[in-house]
Amino acid sequence: MARDVFEPGIVPGRLAPQNYDEGFSDLHPPLDEHEALVAADRCYFCHDAPCMTACPTDIDIPLFIRQIATGTPDAAAKTILSQNILGGMCARVCPTETLCEEVCVREIAEGKPVLIGQLQRYATDHLQVQGVHPFERAAVTGKRVAVVGAGPAGLSCAHRLAMLGHDVEILDARPKPGGLNEYGIAAYKTPNGFAQAEVDWLMQIGGITFRHETAVGRDVTLAELKDDYDAVFLGMGLVGVNALGADGEDKAGVTNAVDFISELRQSGDMSSVPIGRDVVVIGGGMTAVDAAVQATLLGALNVTLVYRRGRDRMNASVFEQDLAASKGVRIVTHAVPIAVHGNGSVREIEFEYVDEAMKGTGQTLRLQADQVFKAIGQTLLGDGLPELDGRKIKVDGTGRTSLDRVWAGGDCASGGDDLTVTAVAEGRDAAIDIHTTLMGAAG
């Protein structure tokens, strides 16, 4: 939500109106029918399908591309969605360049992979814009499951459970469903309200209800959920933000990158979002890049992304790093923040250069800044949670936690990478195990 009072130098409307439309347009315009057929024709339909092995949701990629090539995109969409119900969103935000497309035989042989991600979007969009839901719900089982978190893991889990005949209630702390997809992804990756449209489409399966603005620990306890439901799935993500550990980080103008991205996503008017003249983003992941790129698109004159390690250690893919550079973002590596300077509001931020072992070199760098975004990782918040593995909920391969009848998945769990597609896979797999457990108990 846009603020009425801004810090000095942080103002909205730095650009002409048309600049916002151009800057925040679709990052990858969709393929038309002819482009999709040409792209599909490049697939070798490999029998060992390394692309399928690289996909966290195990989509049968050669099959869906063959279905596109033969003029049946809706069948291709069903192939995709049977494994990944959020296949439309993943087609837009998945780092395909480090997953399926990286191992594509065309990429290895020619340096130009089959456009798997864009073909996936072509197929899923073709089906979803018709308002068609390709799955039917099984007979009602009488079992009730609570899903905490309406992000990718929770939505995936809820949809699969509903398909299997269970009644599902999703509890989420925010006023709208979608989680990361709605609040935490760059606006230019999912324009035109796609995240909510996908949720509405998913809900057509039936058997799912939402309870908004309800947080575990604040409004309801996990023990209460266990009493009221036959099973519980925890997919609430990570909502706490790590501190910089630098002197003066409490100064005005130092904020969380996730809050900035959320404000931008929910504004409805990009020109109303305030941005500084000199912006510094601290971090090396996708959130850091999203914040830095969007700062430039909002009209910041100087945007610098600072990361404590080398570019080869950044969680953001090479594509994302190159995207940032192409938008004018300066990337500084091997530097950690040590002090924020200014009289009440940030005016400069000071870094110390470090070596590969993260040991300070004594050399420092001071950057002008009227706005600093922290993108250095998030933490799990909540009371009465299952056993933790480090800073996340400890789970086994099917998402089971240390508590009976409680599963977890997505960013809050100790599973795989913190990616939308991984969260979808973990939610789906947990749902299958919940179903097996509940029906075994019923038998």
The 10s digit of each residue's pLDDT in 92-143 is 999 999 999 999 999 999 999 999 999 999 999 999 999 989 999 999 999 9
- C-alpha separations of 194 from 16, 76, 265 in Å: 25, 20, 11
In a domain, 56, yes or no: yes
In a domain, 135, yes or no: no
Q: Are residues 218 and 248 in the same domain?
A: no
* CATH number assigned to the domain comprising residue 220: 3.50.50.60
Q: Are residues 187 and 153 in the same domain?
A: yes
The pLDDT confidence band at residue 343, using thresholds 50, 70 and 90, is very high
Q: Please give the Cα distance from 93 to 286 (Å, whole number).
A: 10
Q: Are residues 62 and 187 in the same domain?
A: no
For 147-170, write each residue's pLDDT tens digit. Answer: 999 999 999 999 999 999 999 999
Contact 428, 57 (CB under 8 A): yes
- C-alpha separations of 375 from 28, 84, 353, 388 in Å: 24, 28, 18, 23
For position 174, what pLDDT does the model report? 96
Cα 301 off chain centre by: 27
In a domain, 134, yes or no: no
Q: Are residues 235 and 247 in the same domain?
A: no
Task: Classify residue 99 by its DSSP letter.
Answer: T
The residue type found at 146 is A
Percent of the chain with pLDDT over 70: 98
The pLDDT confidence band at residue 1, using thresholds 50, 70 and 90, is very low
In a domain, 19, yes or no: no
- C-alpha separations of 203 from 75, 84, 232, 320, 328 in Å: 20, 15, 19, 32, 40
Which range (148-157, 240-249, 323-332, 355-364) has the least confidence?
A: 240-249
The residue type found at 255 is T
Q: Which two tokens stand for residue 302?
A: 């100087």
Q: Please give the Cα distance from 31 to 376 (Å, whole number).
A: 35
Q: Are residues 346 and 246 in the same domain?
A: yes
Which is it for strands 254-256 and 371-374: parallel, antiparallel or unpaired? parallel
Q: Examine the pLDDT at 2 and tell me if it is beyond 70.
A: no
In this prediction the pTM is: 0.95
The residue type found at 296 is T
Q: Are residues 313 and 326 in the same domain?
A: yes
Q: How many domains does the chain have?
A: 3
Task: Classify residue 11 by its DSSP letter.
Answer: B
Q: Which two tokens stand for residue 226?
A: 């266990």
The pLDDT confidence band at residue 172, using thresholds 50, 70 and 90, is very high
For position 5, what pLDDT does the model report? 47
Q: Examine the pLDDT at 3 and tell me if it is beyond 90.
A: no
In a domain, 411, yes or no: yes
For position 325, what pLDDT does the model report? 97
Phi, psi dihedral angles at 379 (to 5 degrees): -125, 160
Q: Which two tokens stand for residue 86?
A: 């959020």
For 176-197, write each residue's pLDDT tens digit. Answer: 999 999 999 999 999 999 999 9
Contact 428, 157 (CB under 8 A): yes
Q: Are residues 183 and 93 in the same domain?
A: no
Q: Which domain holds residue 387?
A: 144-239+380-442
Residue of 378, 367, 375, 377 lying closest to 300 (CA atoms)? 367
Residue 139 half-sphere exposure, CB side, CA atoms within 13 Å? Answer: 1
For position 116, what pLDDT does the model report? 98
Which range (7-11, 73-77, 228-232) has the least confidence?
A: 7-11
H or E, element range at 121 = helix 116-128
Q: Which two tokens stand for residue 307?
A: 């990361």
